[in-house]
Structure 1
Amino acid sequence: MTIILGREKPVIDPFDLVASRGVSAPCRRFMLTFMDYTYRVGRRLLENVEKVSVYAPVRGAVKGRFRGVEVCVVKLYFGAAASAMALELLIAAGAREFVVVGEAGALHPSLRIGDILIPTWGVREEGTSYHYAPPSYTPRPDPKLVELLEEELERIRRRGIRIVKGGVWTTDAVFRETRDKVERFSGMGVLGVEMEATALMTVAHYRGAMLTVVLSISDELYGDEWREGFRSRKLRRTERICVEAALSALASRRCVE
């Protein structure tokens, strides 16, 4: 069955829902993440940290200050549908700038475990984004946030960590990342695969919010055998760098100029 892109006002509108509850976002700027480790790192890097309640399905949320700027760090549920729902409600409550810190599997030998991918476009194999944009739409991040994020990553990265920009493949089916699809998408210039990026970029664009994504490479799908590094020290080091860069980009004065 083909997904029908609705044209009329939704029955449940997130802005109406948030207004009816009388809630507002505790911050304007948000670092969104999915992993326990990156959430803990983000929390530790903030000053004056306090737990906050957000009107959205999340696994944790704190507010603090980074370089004097108020920022929230939120741990989302995995997957396009759940994370897009949370993003919708945060935007409706007044949040405007987002950096998403995640993990991805590498599709091309140019990326190894512990490297960094900044998605600049995406292949949509999740279902959520098709309710916001037609099949011809190519999701992209906010260019200003990409620039700020890249500058911060270059400033704080360690030797041996590559930073690459390129395509990302977002899928709902982790166990259907088949060899033929890996080779096909890699040949198209897609560098990594994960579960949320294209949906979040599409929703942010639809709502007029600023959002970009940074992905630590956690595993490699392009070799003869799958190679994973989910518990490796190199991945943890890279994730610390990505979190610091995300918070630095959000705290930049240029973020909202």
Structure 2
Amino acid sequence: MSFPTWSDLNDDSLIPPLGARYAPDIGQFAFMVSTEPDVRYLEANSADKRCVPFFLGRLFTLKNDATVAGPYLGSPSAAMILESLITKGASRVVVVGWCGSLSDDLRAGDILIPDSAISDEGTSRNYMEMPQSDDCEKFCGNGLKKVSDFPTVWPSSTLSQTLKASLEEHGIECKTGKVWTTDAIYRETRRKVDFFAKMGAVAVEMECSALFAVARYRKIDLASILIVSDTLSKEEWEPGFKAKRFKESRRKVLDMILNDFHRNPFYDEKLRQ
């Protein structure tokens, strides 16, 4: 039997975010970039050549004064970074990462703005109440967990809509949909893929539900942009990491962050929910 982590949501943590001691103060806007290649691309064009070590990654400032933090992998690491960014002043965060497609409508190189995330990881339950339900057979069978064990978490709808509009303004097509967040990339079995696809997930990744939960608990705005890197909807896994379309989509998104973000309405106070 495990401790009901959501039962002490009003209690203070004994340990403050590590960034409170080791990171400089930052502005209200930050990017969390999950992969090393994308962090490296932004870092090469950053204004701040004095990158600060930040957990297992680093922290630096772009020419438009936005902060970049990363890389990281998995929900616990991502939540620690977000908590520290919030402590140092961030109130609007855009997460940039990769995801695997669970739908025939998504292929490598497509860009997805998640509108919700199914929590199949262990971090988010420390930041949100867990739903209770006796409806154990709605989606499940054969001994699988009940639906209430997989709560859905939402990003900032306003920030997500603004992010989508900004991409479209720059001629970058994107889609929206629900993602499945998992802790175990090497246990994405056919049965799990089919199960979460039936629950409405169009893609899988490793951080969104936890980050959405932390952001809502801390009352800040957070949205995510994901580039499809591989496909799990077919009989066999189809990696697309070397595909030209995937590399081009990453470059378009990162170049928008580098070159045009200073004209973006993300900085507008009206975005606050």
Q: Same fold by TM-score, threshold 0.5 exceeded?
A: yes
Aligned residue number for residue 139 of structure 2: none
**How many residues align structurally?**
246
Distance 2:268 2:51 in 1: 23
TM-score using structure 2 length: 0.82
Q: Which has the larger radius of gyration?
A: 2
More strand by share: 1
2:187 aligned residue (176, 180, 186): 176
Structure 1, unaligned stretches of length 5 or more?
Answer: none
Please give the per-residue CA displacement for 1:27-84, whole angstroms capped at 9, x wherever unaligned: 32111112122113323554x3333436x41412221223xxx111221321100110
Aligned residue number for residue 150 of structure 1: 164
**Counterpart AA for 1:63:** T
Which consecutive segments of 4 or more residues in structure 1 shift more than 6 A? none
Distance 1:232 1:155 in 2: 25
Alpha carbons of structure 1 residues 93 and 182: separation in structure 2 relative to 1, 3 Å: same
Distance 1:175 1:185 in 2: 16
Aligned residue number for residue 27 of structure 1: 27
**Counterpart AA for 1:223:** K
Aligned residue number for residue 62 of structure 1: 60
Structure 1 position 196 matched with structure 2 position 207:
yes
Distance 2:106 2:262 in 1: 26
Alpha carbons of structure 1 residues 3 and 153: separation in structure 2 relative to 1, 3 Å: farther
3-state SS of 2:152 partner: coil
Structure 1 position 113 matched with structure 2 position 108:
yes
Alpha carbons of structure 1 residues 213 and 236: separation in structure 2 relative to 1, 3 Å: same
Please give the per-residue CA displacement for 1:95-119, whole angstroms capped at 9, x wherever unaligned: 1111111000000101001101111
Alpha carbons of structure 1 residues 93 and 204: separation in structure 2 relative to 1, 3 Å: same
3-state SS of 1:50 partner: coil
Distance 2:45 2:155 in 1: 25
Aligned residue number for residue 49 of structure 2: 50
On the 8 A contact 1:149/1:249 being kept in 2, the answer is no
- Output aligned runs, 1:1-257, within 5 Å: 1-4=1-4, 5=6, 6-7=8-9, 8-14=11-17, 21=21, 24-46=24-46, 48-53=47-52, 56-66=54-64, 70-136=65-131, 138-157=152-171, 163-246=174-257, 248=260, 252-257=264-269
Alpha carbons of structure 1 residues 100 and 23: separation in structure 2 relative to 1, 3 Å: closer
3-state SS of 1:108 partner: coil
Higher deviation after alignment, 1-10 or 176-185: 1-10
Percent identity over the alignment is 33
